[in-house]
Amino acid sequence: MDLDTARLTVSDACLALAERLRDLPPSEELRTGERLRREGHDGALVAAAMTLASLRAQARTRLGPRADALALSRAGLEQATRARVAALHADRFEEAGSRLVADLTCGLGLDALALAERGIGVVAFELDPGTAVLAAHNLAPYPHATVENADSLAALARHEVDAVFADPARRTARGRRHDPADYSPPLDAVLDLRHGVAALGVKAGPGLPHEAVPPGMEAQWVSVDGDVVEVGLWAGAAARREGHAALVLRGDEAHEIAGDTHRADAGDLGEYLLEPDGAVIRAGLVGVLADHIGARLVDPQIAYLTTDSPAATPFARAYRVLDRLPLDVKVLKRDLRARGVGRVEIKKRGVDLTPEQLRPRLALKGDAAATLVLTRLDGRHAALLVEPV
């Protein structure tokens, strides 16, 4: 966000107008904007307030009620940590006894906010001037939290911190960065800081390759209601273990699994199919999960598990296998029509055919619903008709 827009966004006039526009339906935005301008409000102010009100509405699902007090930008919100996950980050530093945490890439300041709410001192760095203005507004209620518009790695030496947190930027105008060396700041430069502080935490993209995690650190992949949102890298007093873990958050529940990344054995398809949570798959813990519930892989290269009896686990979604069919469109179309299936959920793993390609070709008719899993069994393509347990 440019500096002038940021300053306008945090002005008293804009904040007051955005509060008036809370819960404005999108269908009313154009008419409301025109009315406010006729009332004499500056056009730039109206635009800023309407944008802020809209972003706050979008943010409530991930940031909770606090969204309505925050200064937001569209780009900042895209990378902002969910409130529940930011609280878990802060838990780590609180348990570590951290007194002053450097947030190297604070963005809108939401991780710094979770730390400040616990009474932990925070010095938050943000390289973009406009975003730094928004972060300073969001952290203003906490005198023990400050924001600096500076290059964090260069400015860090000015502060005697005992802990570091970073959420390196993984997006540019050209899209998402996948190579950790292209993060801003580079991931390796951030990880090197673990040797000089008592506690270190880094939020990275869930696609981070395992080889990018230094030995001795904890890497915890996190999913929220089925969406894998990050991998947290933890060192020093902020780490609870070495190696890989998966944290699955669903509703108010939290479940964690940890261990090594051994591969599970493969075997024959049983009565039940289990789809491991994405965090478990990303963490490489499908083998650990299989050991826990007595399951096996349906194929050595596919992350679907199977069992002969029900296996209740928060780390996978379970289905009862109703039928095994060849992955042939004509056969599938005939079989599903015979069952009166008009709506089908299609899942896939290990096959090139996509649900978008298959669904129109099935031309389904009927009132029943079904779930179809496209995968490989014993190295061969197959389609499984299943029902959720």
- Which residues are 221's β-sheet partners? 231, 246
Are residue 249 and residue 355 in the same domain, yes or no?
A: no
Cα separation, 288 vs 383, in Å, equals 26
Tell me the pTM.
0.93
Q: Are 327 and 357 in contact (CB under 8 A)?
A: no
The pLDDT value given to residue 171: 60
Q: Which two tokens stand for residue 210?
A: 């395992």
Residues in Cβ contact with 89 at an 8 Å cutoff, skipping those fewer than 6 apart: 81, 111, 114, 115, 165, 201, 203, 232
pLDDT digits (tens, 9 = 90+) for 118-137: 999 999 999 999 999 999 99
CA atoms within 13 A on the CB side of 226: 3
- Same-domain check for residues 372 and 340: yes
Q: Are residues 37 and 143 in the same domain?
A: no
pLDDT of residue 178: 62
161 shares its domain with 138: yes
pLDDT in tens, 264-287: 999 999 999 999 999 999 999 999
Residue ending a domain, choose from 256, 286, 321: 256
Domain boundary pick from 72, 96, 129: 72
Q: Can you tell me the mean pLDDT for 201-208? A: 95
Number of domains in the chain: 3
Cβ 268 vs Cβ 379: under 8 Å? no
